[in-house]
Structure 1
Amino acid sequence: MVKEKKKSLGKGLAALIGDLGEAEARNLNPSEIKTEGVKIPIEYLEPSRNQPRKTFDEDSINELAQSIKEKGILLPILVRPLEEKKYQIIAGERRWRAAQKANLHEIPVVIKDLEENEVLEIALIENIQREDLTAIEEASGLNRLLVEHHYTQKDLSKIIGKSRSNIANTLRLLSLPHKVQDFVQRKILTAGHARSLVGLENALSIAQFAIKKKMSVRQLEQYVNYVKNKINIKSSSGNTKKDPNTLAIEKSLSDHLGLTVTIKKKRGEQGELKVVYKNFEQLDYIIKRLNK
């Protein structure tokens, strides 16, 4: 059973971490900036295992570090107390990393006693609102709230302000092979590409083919639909699976001729190319094309 306090953090997030990010805060006058909190030695802070974001852009961190050298940290970092003068970062790990590069010895913080699920929720919301997460990081964070803290998709929808169908589609990305997830994590493929591949048995080979051919999301969606149709035909005929390159050639020839073309490999380099016509008019069209 999800406790009510789990559902209250979404609206109260601004009160904890502020409505603005560090970059937006730098455009305000000093009198407009909220700087409540205390300063503690930077070595007392440690990152949270609940941080959904797994990668940080080094150039962005360096830019922020330079800005911190000039103006300091304008928004306190949200932390919770641990044992022996240690504090765990809940929101603001990027600022903490940049502060280290800027050689700061102390850092402003706001200290709050929060539960594990609240820490994960706040970290997830902060990153989603500021669009800092990849689709895989977001899906992993949502899944942890579901599995480890017994949230429902309805709870998550209220917390992050997205529809339940959007959340369900995001979570489905975790069913993709780990290598495909890594392509998304490294931004080789977009979330749109990944969504097209969900549910495909040969998702990895198709993903690799899409990368090689530099397919757009739309092109991949069209190719996936073609593959699915081929799979249905093969299932009914009992034929063996074809590799993505063969399917791509079939699609290219079919599109070029406006007729159904299939390729069947045999032993060695031998094979058959089959063009299907529905009437004599189409047959005449094929003959004319071949005689050109």
Structure 2
Amino acid sequence: MVELEEEPVKVSEPIVREAIIEESRIEEVPVRETDEVGIDRIAPNPDQPRTQFKKEEIEELAASIEKDGLLQPILVRQMADGTYQIIAGERRWQASKAAGLKKVPVRIKEVDDDQALELALIENIQRSDLNPIEEAYGYRRLMERRSMTQAEVAQAVSKGRSTVANALRLLDLPEEAQQLLFEEKITAGHARAILSVPTAEGRLSLTQKIIDNGLNVREAENLARLMSGKKDSSASASREPMPAVYKSVAKTLRETLKTNVRVKSSKGKNKIEIEFKDEEDLRRLFSELVGE
């Protein structure tokens, strides 16, 4: 996965919603009582499925921890050198460090590498913390590391087999499209449209057209049908090419606002569409636009 230089546009969930980890597939393993350990003796798991944490959500949780303390212990396992590796709760650990805590409560679980990966994946999926690409790579790692079938992975994470299969299909996307999906510059709907194009060259071409022209999912699907040699009588399929200045403005706004932006013209009516996730994201965009 390519390192990102800018933060993805992902609005944090309410901090109070901490997960209950379902361990239906994990064998019964010993769990020690909650203990407090030095925060510097804890390290993240390199196999953690979630690879991106927004600065804003860490700061928000850190403020809550400064006020009320860390209410839910971090789930860890003890390593051979006496340090602890996070199984679930890396965001809480990062926020606790930001809040200046020297010790944090932990629950120590005796699991091997594969069990730790499975627990981490289950927790993140149940909390909807993973973007589609992270989720897909998590499923694939489970299948490879534990020699599991798609059906077994689906059972482990309490998902339908078709859900797991569709997620894994995202790994057939061109690397450029995977990165755009990772950065949330395209959606899973765009990804499905790209995957419907039969050739690798066509998929890459459609990916570029989606970005250059700010295509929504329906427009991407229509173009995918045309590129696949299927007829499409919809109005969007026969639309005039977007003027170069529209493409340039849309691209600049997307990069500046870090969200999807489309410039449209139809029957003499022109408009700019700016996507936002929720009220918090709307306020952020407003501040960017008016310079506050």
Give the shorter-chain TM-score range: 0.5 to 0.7
Q: Distance in 1 between matches of 2:184 and 2:53?
A: 13
Q: Secondary structure at the match of 2:215?
A: coil
Q: Which has the larger helix fraction?
A: 1
Residues 68-101 of structure 1 deviation map (CA, whole Å, 9 limit, x = unaligned): 1001110000000002220000000000000111
Cα contact 1:146–1:152 (8 A) shared by 2: yes
User: What is the correspondence of 1:108-257 to structure 2 with a 5 Å cutoff?
Assistant: 108-198=105-195, 200=197, 201=200, 202-229=202-229, 251-252=238-239
Structure 1 residue 169: Cα displacement: 1.1
Q: Secondary structure at the match of 2:128?
A: coil
Are 2:94 and 1:97 equivalent residues in the alignment? Answer: yes
Tell me the C-alpha RMSD between the 2 structures: 2.1
Where does structure 1 lack aligned partners over 5 or more consecutive residues?
1-20, 26-35, 233-247, 254-292
Cα contact 1:22–1:75 (8 A) shared by 2: no
Cα contact 1:46–1:89 (8 A) shared by 2: yes
How many correspondences in the alignment?
207
Q: What is the match of residue 23 of structure 1?
A: 16
Change (3 A) 1:205 1:83: same
Q: Distance in 2 between matches of 1:223 and 1:191?
A: 16
Q: Runs of 4+ in structure 1 displaced over 6 angstroms?
A: none
From 45, 55, 65, the equivalent of 2:52 is 55
Q: Distance in 2 between matches of 1:193 and 1:139?
A: 16
Identity %: 41
Q: Distance in 2 between matches of 1:93 and 1:132?
A: 12
Cα contact 2:77–2:111 (8 A) shared by 1: yes
Q: Distance in 2 between matches of 1:147 and 1:87?
A: 25
Cα contact 2:223–2:237 (8 A) shared by 1: no
Change (3 A) 1:97 1:148: same
The structure showing larger relative contact order (alpha-carbon pairs under 8 Å, at least 6 residues apart) is 2
Q: Distance in 1 between matches of 2:187 and 2:151?
A: 26
TM-score (norm 1): 0.67
Larger Rg: 1
- The residue type equivalent to 2:134 in the other structure is E
Cα contact 2:142–2:148 (8 A) shared by 1: yes
Q: What is the match of residue 262 of structure 1?
A: none
Residues 191-211 of structure 1 deviation map (CA, whole Å, 9 limit, x = unaligned): 121122125322222112112
Cα contact 2:50–2:129 (8 A) shared by 1: yes
Cα contact 2:132–2:167 (8 A) shared by 1: yes
Change (3 A) 1:249 1:199: closer
